[in-house]
Amino acid sequence: MKPKKLSVGMVSLLVGLAVALVVPLIIGSNQYNMVLVTTVLLYGVMATAWNVIGGMAGQMDLAAGAYLGLGAFTVGTLLIKWNISPWIGMILGGLVATGFAALVGYPLFRFGVTEVWYALSSSALVEVLRVLFLLWEDVGGPVEKYLPFHKWSLYHLRFSSYVPYYYIMLGLLLIALYANHRIARSKLGYYLLALGENEDAAEVLGVDARACKIKALMIYAFIVGVTGGVYACLYGFIHPNFFDGLQSTEVAILGIVGGMGITYGPLVAAILLVSGREFLRSNLSGQLESLYLAVYAAVLIVIALFKPRGIATLLQDAYKQILSRIQRDKNVQADTTNF
């Protein structure tokens, strides 16, 4: 039997993973840089998860912050009140987020809220949750609730260094990528692609659009909810501002400019844009505060205007070009050997 050939995607994934694994060895001593790379991964996880509902199912969900916050509050509250390990809390947080997604998603899809109205109502949802948690003083409230301090405890998921969080986030990213990959090649994935293209046509062909969209929403909510649990431990406190409308929108924008429906697209966008933004922030803000934000926003606009299908398509085009060049070279060789 011939050994299975490694695909280009697999090779680049392995190379990327190898690089990601050694990053803390290089910059691990600088905690500021570790926070930055962990933040980049955080956005990467959320944008990759968003790809399931936004990219594949074509629903402009702007509620990533809602699921992130729910996960964070589940983990934080369980740990503070009952000393339950975040490892358990994380899963529960994911389930809480999933349950909430189902609760909200059912009427949304049942009443046919689509396109911009779906986007706006999901955006409003984040704000609704933020205010509710602000008013619910037992769990939220206007004052930060700090997680118990531990110098190095795996049970409490509290470390005095950011390196472990980085690796946990990397693990979540792999899970999110794998989920994307599997869904894209499953029946659900094809259904989602079909209804993302044209919902009416897909329904005529027998796709249960509502059920598929809810499934996609729940998968996305679960991953983001689990991430929220890690987020709470990373920052060491919980606060209603975790329900951040602008951050949620940003996740969706990363998904869009990365390339909707392309598994690695949102990740590429997160890596390039978020790390670019943070680089600008630390280098530009000396002269003018917020200049980095203006540059970042301008880059977003330019990409969205001129590459509306996403920056991942640039990679795809480059790959195709290389392939065709190799093909041509082979043909030339074949020609010269024939004559």
Residue ranges in contact with another protein by CB under 8 A: 60, 107-108, 111-113, 115-117, 119-121, 123-125, 127-128, 131-132, 134-135, 142, 245-246, 249-250, 252-253, 256-257, 260, 288-291, 293-294, 296-298, 300-301, 304-305, 308
- Any residues with CB less than 8 A from the CB of 43 and at least 6 apart, and which? 250, 251, 254, 270, 274
* Shortest CB 128 distance to another protein, Å: 5
Q: How many CA atoms lie within 13 A of 39 on its CB side?
A: 16
- In order, the DSSP letters of 247-276 are HHHHHHHHHHHH-TT-TTHHHHHIIIIIHH
* Shortest CB 241 distance to another protein, Å: 12
* Shortest CB 61 distance to another protein, Å: 11
What residue type is 178 in one-letter code? Y
CA distance readout (Å), 318 to 7, 160, 270, 314, 325 = 16, 43, 20, 6, 11
CB of 71 or CB of 245, closer to another protein: 245
115-135 vs 86-110: helix axis angle to the nearest 10?
130
CB of 253 or CB of 268, closer to another protein: 253
* Shortest CB 83 distance to another protein, Å: 30
Q: How many CA atoms lie within 13 A of 121 on its CB side?
A: 14
CB atoms within 10 A of CB 210: 16
CB of 114 or CB of 161, closer to another protein: 114
Residue closest to 78 by CA, chosen among 64, 102, 63, 95: 95
* Shortest CB 146 distance to another protein, Å: 21
Cβ–Cβ under 8 Å, residues 65 and 79: no
CB of 228 or CB of 310, closer to another protein: 310
* Shortest CB 134 distance to another protein, Å: 5
Cβ–Cβ under 8 Å, residues 16 and 270: no
* Shortest CB 10 distance to another protein, Å: 30
- Residue 167 and residue 45: Cα distance in Å, rounded? 13
CB of 85 or CB of 241, closer to another protein: 241
Residue count of the chain, please give it: 339
* Shortest CB 257 distance to another protein, Å: 6
CB of 130 or CB of 156, closer to another protein: 130
Residue closest to 235 by CA, chosen among 29, 244, 268: 244
Q: Burial level of 22, CB count in 10 A (0-12/13-18/19+)?
A: exposed
CB of 79 or CB of 244, closer to another protein: 244
What is the dihedral sign for C-alpha 253, 256, 258, 262? positive
CB of 205 or CB of 297, closer to another protein: 297
CB of 79 or CB of 129, closer to another protein: 129
The DSSP letter of residue 161 is S
β-pairing, 152-153 with 158-159? antiparallel
* Shortest CB 199 distance to another protein, Å: 14
